[in-house]
A and B are shown apart, each in its own frame.
Chain A
Amino acid sequence: MSWSAALSLALRALWRNKTRAMLTALGVIIGVASVIAMVAIGAGAKQRIAEQLESMGTNSLVIRSGTVTHGGVRTGAGTTTTLTLDDAEAIADLPDVVEVAPSVQTSAQVRHRGANWGTAIQGVTPGYFRVRSWPLSEGELIDPAQVAGAARVCVLGQTVVRELFGLVDPLGETLVIKGMPCRVIGVLTEKGATAWGSDQDDAIFAPITTVQRQLEGITHIDRIELTTTGREGSFRATKEITRLLRQRHRLTEGMDDDFRIYNRAELAQTSEESARVFSWLLGSIASVSLLVGGIGIMNIMLVSVTERTREIGIRMALGARPRDILWQFLLEALVLSAVGGLLGIALGLAGAGVVARFSQLPVDVTPVSVLIAFLFAGLIGVFFGLHPARKAARLRPIDALRYE
């Protein structure tokens, strides 16, 4: 029996039971559609997470002064005083490092005329605002000369402006920080809260030297934020910085690092891993519905074989070999799953589009997921079609002909 003849027999048999065929295919349609939509939503979520991480900067590192052990007492992060501005300059020369921003932090009660406000004081260099990609709203930023001269100037975050000045223009006004007068030269744009909920706009920025010498009386720095050439660069830079700082701080082998390096790219990896797990989870749940669709095909094919036992007998009497009967029923199952697969793809694409439109979640339909869902549907057709088809092919002609 030729392929075209077998296919035409299968199509005709399905056409005679249109409603039943459509309902059977519906199981596969829903299965394939949900696989495609779920995978698309999962991929979209993954992409959204990747974008957010990228906007946070996966190419940035933070170095903090670390712990030190004094006779068995470990003092905790940020307690050593070995990180210096010279370290920052040495790090800036490393090949994978683009920009460094050393800083010191303190907090103080700040006064302006009658108002006062407790806020964070950040001692920074001009590089800080570039590393944080934080644009100015008005006025000007701290320049290198002001850092060199430990000038008594500052740039304000929006929260500080609101709390201390209200509607008054802060530019040119003088604040008092721990008794030190300080002229406001610029105001930053609003940055909002961090992912951890702290208000980034609630801070005053002054030259790092000013904070070190005039407010704190220290020579070390608390942290260095820096950008690297990229995600790979940040992993390389982590190693280079570790080696450089251990050398500069004269740490011999066996001694702990006196600094900590926090790599955003590591965080990104963790988040992407959870997004991947999420995608797989959605895909697996959808696959179950495809499986149920396959069982529907098997069910209907078994009913069909029983109903058409006499027809099978007649065909055998007319010369159909067992394999001809096998192919006829297997092809019917395959056509059901293939048609279901194609309609399912269409429905899945439409469904993903609707989700994208109403939830504002990104969805990402990949050709690979469409192909896999379709092949999976075909595989299900073969798998669940084979048993009924074999049952039909194994009938003895005489039993099939006599069947009432």
Chain B
Amino acid sequence: MAAALIDIGDLRKVYSLDGVEIQALRGIDMRVDEGELVAIMGPSGSGKSTLMNILGCLDVADSGSYRLRDQDVTHMRPDQLARVRNREIGFVFQGFNLLPRTSALENVETPLIYAGLGRHERQERATAALGRLGLSDRLHHLPSQLSGGQQQRVAIARALVTRPSLLLADEPTGNLDTATSAEILTVLEDLNREDGLTVLMITHDPEVAQRAQRTLHLRDGRLEGPS
């Protein structure tokens, strides 16, 4: 049996919005093994994004435990969380979230800057990552000069360049047309199959979820069915 990459227990999160308390997560238990391709589905307001943010160490839970690759990240300080995000997690967002007016190469180099790598090694690795995604001829293009699919490929290259143990994709095809969506999903599948990269996708699209090995359903802050 493969080792657990993500292991969360009884995770809870409450938001206070204009004085009204919203229970976003009401006790989630979940385990994802290394090398899995998992989809998390659920209607809007089900707590998908909250779960994603906590899994991505962008936010912390109110209670419960979260172990990522045998590190207890539950009570980490902001700079420790930053380090975990830098080393262990690669993000792919619905809206791409590329740095504007910054070339594809520089975008992909950015996480390596925070990893403390030298300029030469950064450029080498960023060029290789972009090459892998078929963007060798787009290194110096700005995001505004790229198509949606190309932008999402740059974002995937940026997520991969630090060789993370987990790729978190939040509605990765939400802003793309059908053909491009299929293309991006194939890229994610390839990464999972060829590199053994663990991929966690959040989606509301059943067709997208079908490509995953396993699908978790989230409703009203709880997981339904087998986890």
Contacts and interface: CB of A to CB of B under 8 A. Distances in A.
Interface of A: 1-2, 4-5, 9, 16, 310-311, 313-324, 396-398, 401
A320 B111 CA distance: 8
B53 A319 contact: no
Contacts of B162: 319
B101 A16 contact: yes
Interface string B97-123: 111110000000011011110110000
Interface in B158-209: 158, 162
21 contacts: A1-B114, A2-B118, A4-B119, A5-B119, A16-B101, A311-B99, A314-B98, A317-B56, A318-B86, A318-B110, A319-B83, A319-B85, A319-B87, A319-B115, A319-B162, A321-B82, A321-B83, A322-B78, A324-B114, A401-B58, A401-B97
Interface residues on chain B, size class = 20 to 34
Contacts of A397: 58-59, 85
Contacts of A316: 58, 82, 85
Contacts of B18: none
B116 A1 contact: yes
Interface of B: 53, 56, 58-59, 78-79, 82-83, 85-87, 91, 97-101, 110-111, 113-116, 118-119, 158, 162
B99 A317 contact: no
B76 to A, nearest CB: 12
A314 B113 contact: no
A390 to B, nearest CB: 13
Given A1-B114, A321-B79, A322-B82, 5 more contacts: A1-B113, A2-B113, A311-B100, A316-B82, A324-B114
Contacts of B87: 319
A398 B162 CA distance: 21
Most buried by A among B99, B100, B113: B113
Contact of B97 (A1, A317, A322): A317
A314 B99 contact: yes
Nearest to B84: A319
A322 B79 contact: yes
B97 A320 contact: no
A396 B118 CA distance: 28
Contact of B113 (A9, A16, A396): A9
A318 B85 contact: yes
A198 B159 CA distance: 90
A401 B99 CA distance: 12
Contact of A320 (B82, B91, B119): B82
A321 B97 contact: no
B58 A319 contact: no
Contact of B58 (A2, A315, A317): A317
B79 to A, nearest CB: 4
A340 to B, nearest CB: 24
A202 B59 CA distance: 94
Contacts of B86: 318-319
